[in-house]
């Protein structure tokens, strides 16, 4: 190991095993390095901060705060939702009847709350993606939390296909289980086979057990329907999204 950066990293890692220093792994730092439209003066867009210990030659490598934003932006782009995130804000969600006003109110309360899940059921075109995208980008900005955007259909297909690629699969599952904010768009779209149910339970149960994690879910299937598909999954969503579970209005929602 001749690379000074990797050596510093190794030192920092060894240190972090015994102290409260942030734990990082080389692949995390290197793979996540992405400018992603985020300009950070703190780390000069390297994503890391290297500090020298007091009077020592030893270097400590920390992940810069901006990395959360960079990972969120990358996930947003990968999900093909970057354009939606610009267009779908709470300000342009038209609340011109009681139902829409109630949906908007729940979204605003959720953004201002510190925990819990948000669930919205509704047909395609009912504005559920609009509301969830607005929530996630608001949380990303206001609370500086990392958000992972998961279009359920695409990602569940990929996860099922690549199950045997152990390293990739485990890293992906770990991310979905632990990211501070997970947005599952169109949950169970494309069906709920045994493999889908098993995958969904693994992710949602881990998130259910850690009350600091927030999960935002949109689905064409309502809570009763989810309960019928799998009681353990439906029950967990029901419990965590209490106060923030809504039905999207039936008609198409217009943008102002
Ligand atoms: Zn930075």
**Inside any domain, residue 53:** yes
Q: What is the pLDDT of residues 213-222, one digit of tens each?
A: 999 999 999 9
Cα(155) to centroid(ligand 1), Å? 29
The structural domain count of the chain equals: 2
Cα(63) to centroid(ligand 1), Å? 8
Phi (first) and psi of residue 169, to 5 degrees: -60, -45
Global pTM? 0.81
**Inside any domain, residue 234:** yes
pLDDT mean across residues, the chain: 85
CATH of the domain at 113: 3.40.50.300
Residues 144 and 83 in one domain: yes
pLDDT at residue 101, as a whole number: 94
Q: Which of 43, 64, 85 is the last residue of a domain?
A: 64
Phi (first) and psi of residue 47, to 5 degrees: 80, 0
Tell me how crowded residue 203 is: count the other CB atoms within 10 A of its CB: 21
The boundaries of the domain holding residue 116 are: 69-247
How many Å apart are CA 203 and CA 170, to the nearest integer?
Answer: 12
pLDDT at residue 202, as a whole number: 97
| Listed residues: CB within 5 A of ion ligand 1 | 40, 42-43, 64, 66
Cα(120) to centroid(ligand 1), Å? 34
Residues 27 and 149 in one domain: no
pLDDT at residue 41, as a whole number: 85
Residues 153 and 225 in one domain: yes
**Inside any domain, residue 188:** yes
Residues 149 and 212 in one domain: yes
Check residues 223 and 15 and name the one with the higher pLDDT.
Answer: 223
Q: What is the pLDDT of residues 70-122, one digit of tens each?
A: 899 889 888 888 888 888 999 999 998 999 999 999 999 999 998 999 999 99
**Inside any domain, residue 38:** yes
Residues 28 and 60 in one domain: yes
Residues 75 and 20 in one domain: no
Q: Which of 64, 88, 116 is the last residue of a domain?
A: 64
Cα(43) to centroid(ligand 1), Å? 4
Check residues 249 and 222 and name the one with the higher pLDDT.
Answer: 222
Residue 236 burial class via C-beta count within 10 angstroms: exposed 0-12, middle 13-18, buried 19 and up = buried
Check residues 61 and 201 and name the one with the higher pLDDT.
Answer: 201
Cα(39) to centroid(ligand 1), Å? 7
Residues 79 and 192 in one domain: yes
pLDDT at residue 116, as a whole number: 95
The H or E element spanning position 120 is strand 118-121
Q: Which of 64, 94, 114 is the last residue of a domain?
A: 64
Residues 102 and 217 in one domain: yes
Q: What is the pLDDT of residues 17-69, one digit of tens each?
A: 443 333 333 334 333 444 556 788 888 888 888 887 777 677 888 899 888 98
């Amino acid at each position: 190991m001749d690379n000074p950066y990797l050596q510093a990293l190794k030192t920092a890692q060894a240190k972090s095993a015994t102290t409260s220093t942030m734990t990082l792994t080389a692949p995390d730092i290197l793979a996540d390095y992405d400018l992603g439209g985020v300009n950070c003066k703190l780390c000069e867009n390297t994503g890391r901060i290297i500090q020298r210990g007091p009077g020592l030659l030893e270097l400590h490598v920390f992940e810069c705060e901006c990395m959360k934003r960079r990972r969120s932006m990358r996930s947003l782009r990968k999900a093909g939702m970057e354009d939606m995130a610009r267009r779908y804000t709470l300000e342009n969600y038209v609340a011109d009847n009681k139902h829409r006003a109630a949906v908007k109110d729940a979204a605003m309360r959720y953004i201002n709350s510190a925990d819990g899940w948000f669930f919205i059921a509704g047909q395609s075109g009912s504005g559920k993606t609009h509301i969830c995208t607005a929530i996630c980008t608001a949380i990303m900005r206001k609370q500086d939390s990392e958000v992972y955007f998961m279009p359920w259909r695409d990602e569940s297909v990929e996860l099922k296909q690549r199950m045997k690629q152990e390293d990739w699969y485990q890293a992906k599952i770990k991310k979905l289980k632990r990211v501070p904010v997970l947005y599952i768009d169109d949950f169970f779209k494309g069906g709920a086979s045994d493999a889908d149910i098993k995958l969904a339970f693994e992710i949602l149960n881990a998130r259910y057990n850690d009350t600091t994690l927030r999960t935002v879910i949109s689905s064409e299937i309502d809570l009763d329907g989810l309960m019928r598909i799998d009681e353990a999954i439906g029950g967990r969503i029901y419990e965590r999204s209490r106060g923030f579970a809504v039905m999207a209005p039936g008609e198409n929602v217009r943008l102002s």
